Amino acid sequence: MAISLLILAVLGLALAAWRAMARRAPADAGYAGSTAWRAGRFRNVADTRAGSLRAVMREFWANRGIRRKPRSPLPVTPVRAQVLNGPAAQALQVTWLGHSTTLIEIDGLRLLTDPVLSQRASPLPFAGPKRFTPPALTVAQLPWIDAVLLSHDHFDHLDRDTIRALANKVSRFYTPLGVGRRLIAWGVDAERVIELDWWQEATFGPLTFAATPAQHFSGRGLRDGNSTLWASWTVLGTRERLFFSGDTGMHAGFAEIGERYGPFDLTLIECGAYNELWPDVHMQPEQSIAAHQLVRGRTMMPVHWGTFDLAMHRWDEPAERARALAAEQGVQLVQPRPGETVRPDSTLQAPWWRAFEAEAAFVDRSAHTTQEHGA
């Protein structure tokens, strides 16, 4: 019960911060040239809705029996040696490290998205969402990273300890407007930080990165709401293209992204932490599939699930719903285990989480039976 109350308190704080953003406008930080900066803060193109704290508490209580975490930590597949040693692959491939953290190889370069390798997605080391899947790699195990792509500044996407540990292991950090200032304040060399507005591009070797629109919000406290921008990212290689959605609700910009930069060989689409009380800033699995289709993706890899307890749905529901919907609509899907590497032409793996759940349940029942007999 104490843990449940703590989770509820965290959800309540997040909701209170979000609602406070509508009332508090940060001082002008020099972003007047951005189309997303209006009336002293960053804004989505469309209005977004949030339920009341009372509604969140009621939803939490009504769904308290849902198992939002697996029975024990999920197994992590050892990352293949060739991913970590020697030159990066020329052909596009992605290794899932957990949540929205992925190691991308393309055109001989290594990229990292939203690196969070700490135990908690929280400002506090003893409270807040704790990962139930270990990170597939530690910072020490990571190879040299050519570029980090950051989608926004929430704690489950931007982790200060991970960034500080990575600071001397990365050539460039690419961020939406304002997020780069946080990195610089944490000790990252300003010359290695590049901030982009929506639709701005930057070249890095053979690659072009474009910061593209998303529909979300930002802030790490009660006084900095929407003072930094949020974004999705496109990675344009010499032969292949990748789209990373970051955190987002369904929005009209997906179609324009597809028109400007698609088709994409692989999309990394958020699929998790959704709820009807915040319908505009995260996507239901049906919307995740639709977003993949709108940006003209070939193969979709769901991310933002299987790591942290961030909403009132069963922990494996996003994977199950995405799998069923992809089958119905003929969408090519990949669902790697943490630590596994996939390519756009990878075949759909077996639903590995089902076997783990069955095994964990069997172990639980066996232990219970043994205790009864021992008694």
pLDDT tens digit sequence for 70-122: 988 888 999 999 999 999 999 999 999 999 999 999 999 999 999 999 999 99
The rounded distance, in Å, linking the Cα atoms of 335 and 338 is: 9
pLDDT of residue 346 exceeding 60: yes
Strands 297-303 and 201-204: unpaired
One-letter amino acid for residue 255 of the chain: A
pLDDT score for 358: 59
Q: What are phi and psi of 141, to 5 degrees?
A: -80, -15
Phi, psi of 360 (to 5 degrees): -65, -40
Which of 23-27, 48-52, 192-196 has the highest average model confidence (pLDDT)?
192-196
Q: Are strands 341-342 and 332-333 parallel, antiparallel or unpaired?
A: unpaired
More confident residue, 332 or 10: 332
β-bridge mates for residue 241, sequence order: 236
Is-contact 283 314, C-beta < 8 A?
Answer: no
Please say if the pLDDT value at position 370 is more than 50: no
Residues in the chain, overall count: 375
**Model-level pTM greater than 0.75?**
yes
- Distance, CA of 166 to CA of 173 (rounded, Å): 10
Read off the tokens for 272.
């998790």
What dihedral angle (degrees, nearest 10) is formed by the CA atoms of 260, 264, 268, 272? 70
pLDDT at site 366:
44
Find out whether 231 and 152 touch, Cβ atoms under 8 Å: yes
pLDDT (0 to 100) of residue 56: 83
CA distance 276 to 59: 10
pLDDT band at 277 (very low <50, low <70, confident <90, very high): very high
pLDDT at 181: 97
Instruction: Please list the alpha-helical segments (H only) found in the chain.
Output: 2-21, 53-62, 81-84, 160-166, 179-185, 253-261, 285-294, 317-329, 352-374
Q: Return d(Cα 303, Cα 291) in angstroms, integer.
A: 13
What is the bridge-based pairing of β-strands 332-333 and 193-196?
unpaired
Q: pLDDT tens, 160-184?
A: 999 999 999 999 999 999 999 999 9
Q: Which of 51-55, 206-210, 251-255 has the lowest mean pLDDT?
A: 51-55
Indicate if the pLDDT at residue 334 is higher than 60. Answer: yes
Share of residues in the chain with pLDDT > 70 (%): 87
What is the SS3 assignment for 215?
Answer: coil
261, 243 contact by CB (below 8 A): yes
Q: Mean pLDDT, to the nearest integer, of 330-357? A: 94
Round the average pLDDT of the chain to a whole number and report it: 89
Q: Helix (H, G, I), strand (E, B), or coil: what is residue 204?
A: strand
Query: Averaged over 307-330, what is the pLDDT?
Result: 96
Report the DSSP beta bridge partners of residue 342: 94
